């Protein structure tokens, strides 16, 4: 039989280098269009927000952040979004698993229902939550004007993210691989931990990032139920609106910048975590 | 010893996958389960591995009753058609997986993995990911991974089915040599009769959920128990009342005591081989007879398309089955 020789490292590097430096005309055009589009829609508006926040000098920025009401709103938003994302990671994966691996009556229906929080206008979601868990709750559960209302609203609107990112990856996953692990002596749990989860990690991460980003920016679904009580149930997005209404645009931009940084940090952290899980498997 | 299969039945809904299978597979041999797709051979292999459960019957592996044991406890090595590589692990990690599960000391794992990678000629690829390997290399990695746990039996499910013809041939020879070195009881499933005949010590032909015949490759080729086995193991044609292999027919341009005579109506050349169709002028057996001969034979006999020829079984042609 032939003995395979690995590519000389120099050769591999040379090829890679060439492919990044020389673009064909069509791929150059594609890259140009993509970058222009991205700049117009994302980069320029985002940089404007950041510029605006420090327009009034660091003074405004610092004052806004040390304002107890704003600090409380930011803290509440970030902690609730974190808790909700953690729950989504577990529940979303479980739901995706059930949808892919099990067959049961009503599966199709559940598939559709999962997307409802996605499709529903958020204010409608807010209305639903208010009538279900508000002062006139038919269930006798009244969480209006408490922190739990924020939690509940976020849980409701972020439900589909992890489910929808994990589901396709789980469908693609080879059953052979699990059988191979079993025949090598791995228990169900070991197979899950060392084979399945590392393969799902990138998808879970993507879902978690979406869920977290949605969580810290949510407005419509929670304003009705939470009551927006300062220092208690007021979230960052409501805070931004208040600043705008009071004509303090620099302060609004400051809060926005903080949210932006938090989201960015979360995405980077999740990426690192996902890499780590995938490698450890 | 080896593998003892008694009274195994398996149905998938209405479909009968296996019917009353009794089979003993001897220790240390390389046995092929041969048959057409959907005939039940893969199902039987998966039942031996514990990846599928039988509806009835018992499985004994090396003297131990394995019928109720889950796959994890059977200590079998299983190789899948599509490699089933752990994509996020390096080659080295893939091979080490079974040993790490068994909580073997690190140094021992490292040593054993190095040995195995040497055995399958993948030493220099130990830090690559499976996606950076070719199909043949991936399958060799899968084989090393299965051998790492020192399985009491090694089971291969169409191991070369996803590879191209040249690599398949190489790996086939290599598996034979590997088995001569390692001597683990090996069962492999294939639908390729050439592969089965070339590699195995003994052959089990399975069709429609039943065992058609068990024997050495020579037994099966020369003394097939049924028309199915005869036709599955190689090309057959009908000469007079008998089924015969096309290369076992003697062909001449001169009249003699022949079984059939007729004109050459088709002439196909494939490399060194010439495949002829002779349409007999016998009203009782009007179907064309296939004849295979080498290019040199055809030249020596001065044969051409449209010639009148006389056919009879060659001396020593045993694979004739009366109908």
Residue B321 has what pLDDT? 53
Measure the CA–CA gap between B119 and B179, rounded to whole angstroms. 11
Are the C-beta atoms of A105 and A268 separated by less than 8 Å? no
Dihedral sign for Cα atoms in the order B259, B263, B269, B270:
negative
Residues from chain A that touch B174, judged by Cβ atoms under 8 A, are 1
Nearest CA to CA, how far is A180 from chain B (Å)? 7
Are the C-beta atoms of B152 and A19 separated by less than 8 Å? no
Q: In the predicted model, is pLDDT for residue B322 greater than 70? A: no
Q: In the predicted model, is pLDDT for residue A13 greater than 50? A: no
Instruction: Give the residue from B140, B204, B217 showing the smallest Cα distance to B2.
Output: B204
Measure the CA–CA gap between A247 and A34, rounded to whole angstroms. 35
Q: Which residue of B lies nearest to A276 if distances are taken between CA atoms?
A: B88
B23 bridge partner residues: B5
- Please provide the average confidence, as pLDDT, over all residues in chain B: 89
Residue A183 to residue B49, Cβ atoms within 8 A: yes
Report the relative pairing of strands B321-322 and B242-244 from DSSP bridges. antiparallel
For A187, the closest of B72, B89, B170 (CB atoms) is: B72
Residue A14 has what pLDDT? 45
Q: In the predicted model, is pLDDT for residue A11 greater than 50? A: no
Helix H or strand E encompassing B20:
strand B15-25
Candidate from A50-59, A174-183, B75-84 with smallest mean pLDDT: A50-59
Instruction: Tell me the DSSP string of A197-262.
Output: HHHHHHHHHHHHHHHHHHHHH--HHHHHHHTT-TTTT--HHHHHHHHHHTT-HHHHHHHHHHHHHH
Average pLDDT over residues A34-58: 86
Are the C-beta atoms of B313 and B242 separated by less than 8 Å? yes
Measure the CA–CA gap between B190 and B159, rounded to whole angstroms. 8
Residue B72 to residue A183, Cβ atoms within 8 A: yes
User: Between A and B, how many residue pairs show a Cβ–Cβ distance under 8 A?
Assistant: 81
Convert the pLDDT of each residue in B226-282 to its tens digit. 889 988 888 888 888 888 889 888 888 888 777 788 899 999 999 899 999 998 887
| Of residues A229 and A56, more confidently modeled | A229
Report the relative pairing of strands B308-313 and B260-270 from DSSP bridges. antiparallel
Confidence of residue B137 (pLDDT cuts 50, 70, 90): very high
Q: What is the pTM of this model?
A: 0.78
Q: Is B311 helix (H, G, I), strand (E, B) or coil?
A: strand
Q: Which residues of B touch A (CB under 8 A)?
A: 49-51, 70-78, 80, 82-89, 97-98, 101-102, 121, 124-125, 134, 137, 142, 145-146, 148-149, 170-171, 173-174
Q: In the predicted model, is pLDDT for residue A12 greater than 70? A: no
Convert the pLDDT of each residue in B1-48 to its tens digit. 789 999 999 999 899 999 999 999 999 999 999 999 888 999 999 999
Interface probe, candidates A1, A173, A175, A184, chain B, greatest B C-beta count within 10 A: A184
Residue A17 has what pLDDT? 46
Query: Considering just the CA atoms, what is the radius of gyration of chain B in Å?
Result: 24
Residues from chain A that touch B89, judged by Cβ atoms under 8 A, are 281
Nearest CA to CA, how far is B115 from chain A (Å)? 17
Candidate from A251-260, B8-17, B202-211, B312-321 with smallest mean pLDDT: B312-321
Measure the CA–CA gap between B67 and B74, rounded to whole angstroms. 10
Are the C-beta atoms of B197 and B294 separated by less than 8 Å? no
For residue B119, what are its two tokens? 């055995």
Q: Is A157 helix (H, G, I), strand (E, B) or coil?
A: helix
Establish if A46 touches chain B: CB-CB under 8 angstroms. Answer: no
Residue B247 has a CB neighbour count (10 Å cut-off) of: 18
- Please provide the average confidence, as pLDDT, over all residues in chain A: 85
For residue A33, what are its two tokens? 């269009």
- Residue ranges of domains in chain A, CATH in brackets: 30-280 (1.10.3720.10)
Candidate from A8-12, A81-85, B81-85, B179-183 with smallest mean pLDDT: A8-12
Provide the terminal-to-terminal Cα distance of chain A, rounded to the nearest Å: 33
Convert the pLDDT of each residue in A145-167 to its tens digit. 888 889 999 999 999 999 999 99
Residue B80 to residue A185, Cβ atoms within 8 A: no
- Lookup result for tokens 């950041």: A50
Average pLDDT over residues A94-123: 89
Confidence of residue A59 (pLDDT cuts 50, 70, 90): confident
User: What is the DSSP code (8-state) at residue B282?
Assistant: -
Interface probe, candidates B81, B91, B97, B142, chain A, greatest A C-beta count within 10 A: B97
ipTM > 0.85? no
Residues from chain A that touch B86, judged by Cβ atoms under 8 A, are 177, 180-181, 195, 281
Residues from chain B that touch A281, judged by Cβ atoms under 8 A, are 86, 88-89
Convert the pLDDT of each residue in B288-301 to its tens digit. 899 999 999 888 88
Nearest CA to CA, how far is B166 from chain A (Å)? 10
Nearest CA to CA, how far is A178 from chain B (Å)? 8
Nearest CA to CA, how far is B93 from chain A (Å)? 9
Establish if A1 touches chain B: CB-CB under 8 angstroms. Answer: yes
Residue A66 has what pLDDT? 87
Residue B125 to residue A2, Cβ atoms within 8 A: no
Residues from chain B that touch A185, judged by Cβ atoms under 8 A, are 72-73, 75, 98, 101-102, 149
Q: Is B216 helix (H, G, I), strand (E, B) or coil?
A: coil
Residues from chain A that touch B134, judged by Cβ atoms under 8 A, are 4
Establish if A185 touches chain B: CB-CB under 8 angstroms. Answer: yes
Question: Percent of chain B beyond pLDDT 70?
Answer: 98
Residue A179 to residue B125, Cβ atoms within 8 A: no
Contacts of A32 (CB under 8 A, 6+ apart): none
Residue A1 to residue B173, Cβ atoms within 8 A: yes
Average pLDDT over residues A217-225: 87
B215 bridge partner residues: B203
Convert the pLDDT of each residue in B86-133 to its tens digit. 988 999 999 999 999 999 999 999 999 999 999 899 999 999 999 999
Residues from chain B that touch A176, judged by Cβ atoms under 8 A, are 80, 82-84
**Dihedral-angle region of residue B240 (phi above 0 means left; psi in -120 to 50 means alpha; beta otherwise):** left
Q: In the predicted model, is pLDDT for residue A129 greater than 70? A: yes
- Lookup result for tokens 């609107």: A157
Query: Considering just the CA atoms, what is the radius of gyration of chain A in Å?
Result: 24
Interface probe, candidates B66, B76, B86, chain A, greatest A C-beta count within 10 A: B86
Residue A10 has what pLDDT? 44
Residue B200 has what pLDDT? 92
Q: In the predicted model, is pLDDT for residue A280 greater than 70? A: no
Interface of A with B in 143-182 (CB under 8 A): 174, 176-177, 179-182
């Amino acid at each position: 039989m032939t003995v395979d020789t690995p590519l000389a490292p120099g050769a591999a590097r040379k090829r890679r280098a060439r492919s990044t430096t020389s673009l064909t005309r069509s791929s150059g055009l594609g890259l140009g269009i993509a970058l222009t589009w991205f700049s117009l829609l994302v980069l320029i508006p985002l940089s404007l927000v950041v510029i605006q926040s420090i327009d009034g000098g660091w003074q405004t920025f610092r004052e806004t952040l040390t304002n107890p009401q704003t600090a409380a709103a930011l803290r509440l938003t970030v902690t609730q979004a974190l808790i909700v994302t953690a729950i989504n990671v577990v529940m979303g994966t479980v739901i995706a698993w059930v949808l892919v691996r099990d067959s049961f009556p009503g599966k199709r229906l559940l598939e559709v229902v999962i997307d409802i929080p996605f499709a529903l206008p958020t204010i409608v979601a807010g209305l639903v939550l208010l009538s279900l868990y508000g002062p006139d709750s038919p269930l006798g559960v009244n969480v209006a004007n408490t922190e739990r209302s924020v939690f509940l609203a976020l849980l409701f609107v972020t439900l589909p993210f992890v489910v929808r990112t994990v589901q396709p990856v789980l469908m693609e996953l080879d059953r052979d691989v699990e059988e191979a692990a079993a025949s090598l002596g791995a228990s169900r749990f070991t197979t899950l931990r060392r084979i399945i989860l590392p393969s799902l990690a990138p998808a879970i991460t993507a879902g978690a990032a979406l869920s977290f980003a949605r969580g810290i920016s949510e407005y419509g679904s929670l304003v009705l139920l939470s009551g927006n009580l300062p220092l208690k149930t007021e979230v960052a997005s409501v805070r931004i609106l208040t600043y705008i209404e009071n004509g303090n645009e620099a302060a609004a931009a400051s809060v926005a910048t903080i949210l932006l940084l938090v989201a960015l940090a979360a995405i980077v952290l999740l990426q690192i975590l996902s890499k780590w899980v995938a490698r450890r498997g | 010893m080896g593998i003892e299969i008694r009274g195994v039945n398996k149905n998938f809904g209405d479909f009968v996958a296996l019917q009353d299978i009794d089979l003993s597979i001897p220790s240390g041999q390389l046995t092929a389960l041969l048959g057409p797709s959907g005939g039940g051979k893969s199902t039987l292999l998966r039942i031996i591995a514990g990846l599928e459960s039988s509806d009835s019957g018992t499985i004994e592996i090396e003297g131990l009753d394995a019928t109720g044991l889950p796959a994890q406890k059977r200590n079998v090595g299983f190789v899948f058609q599509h490699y089933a590589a752990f994509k996020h692990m390096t080659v080295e990690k893939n091979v080490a997986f079974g040993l790490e599960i068994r909580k073997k000391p690190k140094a021992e794992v490292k040593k054993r993995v190095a040995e195995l990678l040497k055995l399958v000629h993948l030493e220099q690829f130990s830090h690559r990911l499976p996606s950076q390997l070719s199909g043949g290399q991936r399958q060799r990695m899968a084989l090393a991974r299965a051998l790492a746990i020192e399985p009491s039996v090694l089971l291969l499910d169409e191991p070369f089915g996803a590879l191209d013809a040249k690599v398949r041939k190489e790996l086939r020879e290599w598996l034979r040599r590997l088995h001569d070195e390692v001597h683990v009881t090996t069962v492999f499933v294939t639908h390729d009769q050439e592969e089965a005949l070339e590699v195995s010590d003994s052959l089990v032909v399975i069709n429609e959920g039943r065992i058609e015949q068990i024997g050495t490759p020579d037994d099966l080729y020369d003394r097939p128990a049924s028309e199915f086995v005869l036709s599955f193991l190689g090309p057959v044609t009908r000469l007079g009342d008998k089924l015969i292999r096309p290369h076992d027919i003697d062909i001449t341009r001169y009249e003699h005591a022949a079984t059939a005579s007729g004109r050459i109506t088709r002439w196909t050349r494939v490399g060194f081989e010439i495949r002829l169709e002779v349409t007999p002028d016998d009203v009782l057996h009007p179907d064309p007879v296939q004849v295979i001969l080498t290019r040199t034979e055809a030249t020596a006999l001065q044969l051409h398309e449209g010639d009148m020829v006389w056919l009879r079984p060659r001396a020593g042609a045993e694979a004739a089955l009366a109908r």
